Amino acid sequence: MNDAVVWLTIFVLSVFVGIEVIAKVSSTLHTPLMSGANAIHGIILLGAILVTGTTDNALALVIGLVAIVLAAVNMVGGFVVTDRMLQMFVRRKRPARTEPGATEGGAR
């Protein structure tokens, strides 16, 4: 069988498995899993940079550059989403209440 058909089959099957796994994740586990996924995306980005840097083929270079851009966007976007989700749990400071009749200097 042709190598391209084998790689395409693996890619399509991995897409289906990924969709099924992500669809089963509850919302309470989303933030911890997102943080773990960000670490994995950093490793993927490093791997894409290393592989692209060692290629001599022009097509492989273009595909590698696309992979680097997509991995970087995915990693940065994951960190932004995780940060925004964590900001929802930060308590905001309440403004200090002043007593009625009190002056700024503290004297009455």
* Domain assignment present for 70: yes
DSSP 39: H
Phi, psi of 85 (to 5 degrees): -70, -40
* Cβ–Cβ < 8 Å for 98, 64: no
23, part of any domain: no
Distance CA 92, CA 90 (A): 6
Q: How many domains does the chain have?
A: 1
| pLDDT tens digits along 7-60 | 899 889 998 988 888 778 776 676 677 777 777 888 888 988 998 999 899 999
Task: Provide the whole-model pTM.
Answer: 0.55
- Contact call for residues 37 and 85 (beta carbons, < 8 A): no
Instruction: Check residue 99 and report its DSSP letter.
Output: -
pLDDT reported for residue 107? 55
**Integer Cα distance of 63 and 69 in angstroms:** 10
Q: Which domain holds residue 83?
A: 30-87
